[in-house]
Chain A
Amino acid sequence: MELFLNLCVSGLTKGSIYALIALGYTMVYGIIALINFAHGEIYMIGAFTALIFSMALGALGLSGWGLLLACGLLAAVYCAMYGWTLEKIAYKPLRGQSRLAPLISAIGMSIFLQNYVQLVQTPNFLAYPDLIPPLPFAGALSGVATKSQVAIVAATALSMIALTLFIKRTRMGLAMRAVSQDPTMARLSGVNIDRVISSTFVIGSVFAAVGGLLIGCATRQIDSYQGFLAGMKAFTAAVLGGIGSVPGAVIGSLILGFSESFAAGYVSSDYEDVVAFVLLILILTLRPDGIMGSATTQKV
């Protein structure tokens, strides 16, 4: 029973991290139907920037909640800037081209960013400090969930609520929904498409930065390759839920997180990743548009 509970908690944690990254994939896909392959690298850069700022600010005497918030904020700002620049360089000049050209440019950008971080920092593992200060009510959960697991789930839940409010309540959110439904019609109604696309990249990158910071604190080490596998899994999760749909991304991520965690616990940790992909193929065979995706009927 205790194993089951622990597996549930670790599945929820994994799913939360995937959800934070998957949001970036699914939002970008919803707006411009592009797989932003470099998104996993943004997540990795988020982890690195947060670590760098934590050391620089730590040297200045900051600690506790102040340090965590400052690092999170700076990492988010920097990732947003990277996401914005990425779109301007690698995707904007390619609008209106075939679908494969932006995909290749995204893969190129992903290779570039990975090697950039290796070159200017290190190709090896870096130890990550535990930036999360002691939580007030953590005593009640001891033995079930660790401090960083609680923090990850809480931060993800907060982010999801904020994103939902943003999409439902703000003018930019409205513009995003409009563009994802029909870009041409949205432009005719006076929506500035360029700004909507840029904001999508910025928002996705901010979530990725939060995910990067939190995963660093949970696993206590990072390296420049971590973005790739996490990005691939998160993208799988987004597709699982129905790419382009925000709730779908969250549900897909949770399914993926839970199934991986149970596979690792009850079968073998060697087959953890196999389960994720087998699940993907099974679900897509039964529901080709993902769980929350709407089947598109083509009219001729």
Chain B
Amino acid sequence: MAQDTQENLPVPPPPAAGAVPVSAFRRLLGELRAAALSAVWFSVLALPLVVFRINSASGRIDYLWGRLPRLAAAAFLATLTWRFLLRRVGFSRVRRAVVEAGGPPPEGARGPEGSWLTLLDRAPAKRAILAAGALLLLSIPFWATPYVVTVMITALIYITLGLGLNIVVGVAGLLNLGYAAFFAVGAYTFALLHANLGLGFWACLPLGALAATLLGLLLGIPILRLSGDYLAIVTLGFAEIVRLVLVNVGFTNGPRGIRNIPPPSLLGIDLNGSVKPLLVPRGLLHADMDLNKVFIYFVILAIVALTVACVFRLENSRLGRAWLALREDEVACQAMGINRTRAKLTAFALGSTWAGLAGVVFASQITFINPQSFTFLTSVMVLSIVVLGGMGSIPGVMIGAVVLILLPEYLREFSDYRMLIFGLIMVVMMVFRPQGIIPSTRRVYIYRPEDHAGAPAGDALPPEGARP
């Protein structure tokens, strides 16, 4: 891997002493020229779509030449930034490759120990951050507006989804592009059981999870032989089948969906009637807050805590190690005596369980579901959370979910450009930080020949320590 990166990147030329100002000026000129060229290129590229706005029904063409200079200026600035960042990322990659290959760290190189991320590895800091985070999350309903609570519920639902998918994609390395199907099954289990049998939230929570798990097993069996992109496309197709069945089958009420899904009950107490008058006058609650929403918030918060605990324990269990082995090398993993069938099936089934749980909570939060909520875009969103946050890393997935759910909310001011910027950020993140916001810090053992120069052959290799 390290060699590969090194080959693809230009090694920075050694700076000539004394000639710095001239070469810096030259470089700047070169950069400006490149940016100007790219501005021209993008103007040509955008010309038909941006300048000629058509209305083909009336045959009218609006010639919007005024858009072109703005676009060219944006392209000019974007190219300058892009090239600057790309060069910096390239340099740091070369440096890391040199260090990994056993060379001396270059001057001014910032080692992994200098990075702010390693703060998370120190136990006291970790505990302090965890405590602060928990306190913040627990206190949100008591000072925030109803809108904030609603958005936070969505974010927490997506954290649960992200952690569940992380088992499948991040830990076991099975690319699942149809995660929304399991989410849908959880939500529909609750909605249908409530509408037909009158079951409540608490009865449906385990049933929804069970239904999703069974569906995960059902999907797992035919695809055991598949791997990589074939697996991805089959999961995608499977999710489309589930969605189309939900649209077309009679008892799900088709595209109109199911209404009047109840909130979870707390021992039968009427929260808005009896508890709310106690809290609002003391300034402990926003006057417009729906206490059922607050309760859902705490339920999903508890589910997230449970998920984190489970996923953390799973990752370090025998099964979790089997998944990691499966991700790294299927053949070697089988040779070591790991039951591949069981590892794959459990990854799929356990990953789906969380989607089922999240689905039940989702249904009770929005009180109305239809197949439109469970499209491919939902799957993509969850996958993006896992990859943007950092595959296989629990804090990464949590940050990823918060960023991806809150970002579109903050971008509402640019409502027209919202999704445009969203797509662009996904590309930019992947180009400049492909390992995710908080990469997983699994211990990696590296062999360095010079450490074993005098060691007798066959000696066990001592661990080299963690690297991000």
Which of A's residues lie within 8 Å of B, judged by CB? 29, 33, 35, 45, 48-49, 51-53, 55-56, 59, 74, 78, 81-82, 85, 89-90, 93-105, 107-117, 119-122, 126-129, 228, 232, 235-236, 239, 243, 270-271, 273-274, 276-278, 280-281, 284-285, 288-290, 298, 300
Contacts and interface: CB of A to CB of B under 8 A. Distances in A.
Most buried by B among A105, A127, A300: A105
A223 to B, nearest CB: 12
7 contacts: A89-B427, A96-B4, A119-B416, A232-B236, A232-B240, A284-B223, A284-B233
A119 B415 CA distance: 11
B49 A236 contact: no
Interface residues of chain A: helix, strand, loop or mixed (majority): helix
A78 B240 CA distance: 32
A273 B426 contact: no
A27 to B, nearest CB: 15
Nearest to A290: B230
Contacts of B240: 232, 273-274, 277
Contact of B54 (A52, A81, A93, A284): A52
B380 A285 contact: no
Residue with the greatest number of chain B CB neighbours at <10 A, chosen from A98, A113, A120, A228: A120
Given A52-B52, A107-B384, A281-B238, A101 B423 contact: no
B232 A35 contact: yes
A237 to B, nearest CB: 10
B423 A90 contact: no
Interface string B416-455: 1101101111110111001000000000000000000000
B54 A55 contact: yes
B8 A96 contact: yes
A99 B231 CA distance: 14
A284 B56 contact: no
Given A104-B384, A112-B420, A127 B45 contact: no
Given A45-B49, A120-B50, A105 B431 contact: yes
A59 B227 CA distance: 53
A285 B427 contact: no
Given A49-B48, A108-B430, A55 B59 contact: yes
A33 B169 CA distance: 18
A119 B331 contact: no
A48 B56 CA distance: 11
Interface stretch (B185-193, B241-249, B338-346): B241-249
A43 to B, nearest CB: 14
B53 interface: yes
B226 interface: yes
B65 interface: no
Residue from the set A100, A113, A129, A288 with the largest chain B CB neighbour count within 10 Å:
A100
- Interface size grouping (class) on chain B: 35 or more
A59 B8 CA distance: 49
Contact of B383 (A104, A117, A119): A104
Contacts of B300: none
Contact of B48 (A53, A122, A273, A290): A53
A30 B225 CA distance: 21
A280 B57 CA distance: 38
A115 B237 contact: no
Contact of A277 (B8, B237, B416): B237
B426 A104 contact: yes
Nearest to B427: A108
A104 B175 CA distance: 12
Contacts of B335: 300
Given A93-B431, A126-B56, A239 B238 contact: no
Interface string B243-280: 01101100000000000000000000000000000000
Given A52-B49, A228-B376, A285-B222, 19 more contacts: A51-B54, A56-B48, A56-B52, A59-B61, A78-B48, A89-B427, A93-B86, A95-B8, A101-B387, A103-B175, A108-B384, A108-B425, A108-B430, A109-B427, A119-B420, A122-B55, A243-B229, A280-B233, A285-B225
B244 to A, nearest CB: 5
A116 B420 contact: yes
A285 to B, nearest CB: 5
Report, nearest first, the 6 A-B pairs whose CB atoms are least far apart. A108-B426, A112-B423, A111-B423, A277-B237, A101-B434, A105-B430
B118 interface: no
B211 interface: no
**Most chain A CB atoms below 10 A, which of B56, B245, B383:** B56
B52 A107 contact: no
B251 to A, nearest CB: 15
A108 B49 contact: no
B54 A98 contact: no
A280 B49 contact: no
B423 A100 contact: no
A298 B48 contact: no
Given A274-B241, A289-B230, A127 B56 contact: yes
Nearest to B241: A277
A273 B223 CA distance: 20
B391 interface: yes
A121 B52 CA distance: 8
A194 B438 CA distance: 31
A101 B175 CA distance: 12
B139 interface: no
A284 B237 CA distance: 11
Nearest to B428: A108
Contacts of A49: 48-49
Contact of A285 (B175, B223, B426): B223
Contacts of A101: 387, 430, 434
